[in-house]
Amino acid sequence: MSIPSMRDNAIGLFSFSKSFAMTGWRLGYLCGPEEFIKRAGTIHNLVLAHVSSHIQIAGLRALQGWDRFSAPIVRELDERRRTLVDELNTLDGMSCKLPQGTFYVFPDFRDAAPGLTSQELADRFLQAGVGSSPGTFFGSGGDGYQRLSYSKVGIPQIVEGVKRMKRVIAQYASAGPLEN
């Protein structure tokens, strides 16, 4: 919806579940071309009938208070994001870009741990107490990458997690690849 030339060809479906932590309330909204919205509204009314007024009021309050509510959260996530990226980039051979729109990073470990697949590296990280998703979960081009989340961990956990990852990589570098 932010690209004016696409407004006639784009549909946006949004939920209050994740944006406002209103899971289970079944409240959301749809943006798109007027004719599509009218038809979708007809189907919605036949299937769902309505959303309770108290849920609609809660959604309205969430929208009205969003800036006040979100500013401290956004600041905290930004600090975590910058800390994680900075810490990861201290690893030899590591490359991690600052994400622009999510609470995940997707660092490139190919030079830091050559010879290890994404799955092997994720397994080693997990043994060290660090959860990650192998880059191959997101396509074959993701081998050598890991996806890490910073949404539910504080700065001390981020720093400790990267220390553990450094130890895993150092152990791998000194021992070399595992024999099959």
CATH number of the domain residue 142 falls in: 3.90.1150.10
Cβ contacts of 17 within 8 Å, gap of 6 or more: 23, 24, 25, 27, 28
Cα 166 from Cα 86, distance rounded (Å): 13
Amino acid at residue number 127: Q
- 49 and 78 both lie in a single domain: no
Clarify whether residues 48 and 101 are in a common domain: no
Range of the domain at 19: 4-64
CB atoms within 10 A of CB 3: 8
Based on the domain organization, do 56 and 90 belong to the same domain? no
Q: Which residues of 135-160 are buried (b: 16+ CB within 10 A; e: fewer)?
A: bbeeeeebbbbbbbebeebeeeebee
Asked whether the predicted pLDDT for residue 8 surpasses 70, the reply is: yes
Is the same domain home to 129 and 160? yes
Last residue of a domain, one of 14, 34, 64: 64
Q: What is the pLDDT of residue 180?
A: 47
180 found inside a domain? no
pLDDT band, very low/low/confident/very high, at 112 (cuts 50, 70, 90): very high
Q: Does residue 111 lie in a domain region? A: yes
Q: Is residue 46 part of a domain?
A: yes
Element (H, E) at 15: strand 12-15
pLDDT by residue (tens digit) across 19-66? 888 888 889 999 999 999 999 989 888 887 778 899 999 999 999 988
Instruction: Indicate the pairing of strand 28-31 with strand 133-134.
Output: unpaired
Same domain, yes or no: 41 and 123: no
Q: Do 60 and 74 lie in a common domain?
A: no
